[in-house]
Amino acid sequence: MRRLLVLGDSLTFYGPVRGELLDEPRLYANVAAAALSTPDAPVAADIVARVGWTARDVWWAMTRDPQVYSVHLPRASAVLLAVGGMDYLPTAAPTWLREGIRYLRPPAVRRVVRAAYRRVQPAVAPVTPWRGLPQHLTDSYLDRCVGGVRYFHPGVPVIGMIPPEHRAVAYGGVPRGHRAAVAAAVAWGARAGVPMLDFNPLVNANVAAGRANPDGMHFGWESHAEIGCALAAVVREAWTAG
């Protein structure tokens, strides 16, 4: 059986209401697998993702998680690096400091600091100098991911993602940095020889029209369906060319 491995962030497993179980058939990875399947040659999807993951987190998963490097990657017939959407998001504090909030003790202090961060974040998002991951690091970690797949699993196609816009209140409701992130993703894909799936025409109109998750970031089922069909077409083309 062929398997499609999707390494990404919460956009891979959130629907219009909440995070879903990974076997939810309406998630775009499962839609793509169903579209690629035939009665004689079924295709299954494997999703490895967490909320807020950037390209760096995917690289860490590929190299530090034995379930990924010993199970998912060896059996993958195609790999989608579905990251970049969190990388460009503006943040009120450097990532190392923001991620460190979870380690604060006692719990009452942690809750106060986290609540303060969430109050400040929307106001600071339009002007902060920090983003989830600097673009040069996004590119560097994506290079490592692609290099690892090509070295250890030659012939397995790797696909990248052009990140979509958002309308998230938590980030000021404005997709600051999105245009630069799109340009960088297109340029990286050309340099790395990786076909890039453009999420924008499949997502942005639905998000802007309110036909998605009320958080202004995650997709509705309409977008999941469209992304899944588009992803299946890219994977099918890669398998045919290979």
Do 114 and 162 have their domain in common? no
Structural domains counted in the chain = 2
Q: Residue 93 and residue 132: Cα distance in Å, rounded?
A: 9
Do 119 and 176 have their domain in common? no
Do 60 and 108 have their domain in common? no
What is the pTM assigned to this prediction? 0.95
Q: Residue 100 and residue 59: Cα distance in Å, rounded?
A: 20
φ/ψ region of 193 (left if φ > 0, alpha if ψ in -120 to 50, else beta) reads left
Do 208 and 164 have their domain in common? yes
pLDDT digits (tens, 9 = 90+) for 5-41: 999 999 999 999 999 999 999 999 999 999 999 999 9
Domain final position from 130, 154, 189 = 130
Domain final position from 105, 130, 155 = 130
- Identify whether the C-beta of residue 216 lies closer than 8 Å to the C-beta of residue 210: no
Cβ atoms < 10 Å from Cβ of 31: 22
- Identify whether the C-beta of residue 197 lies closer than 8 Å to the C-beta of residue 208: no
Do 19 and 100 have their domain in common? no
Work out the pLDDT band at 203, boundaries 50, 70, 90: very high
Taking each helix axis from N to C terminus, what angle separates 221-241 and 28-36, rounded to the nearest 10 degrees?
A: 40
pLDDT digits (tens, 9 = 90+) for 128-161: 999 999 999 999 999 999 999 999 999 999 999 9
Do 53 and 157 have their domain in common? yes
CATH number of the CATH domain containing 228: 3.40.50.1110
What is the extent of the structural domain holding 123? Answer: 91-130
Q: Residue 171 and residue 150: Cα distance in Å, rounded?
A: 36
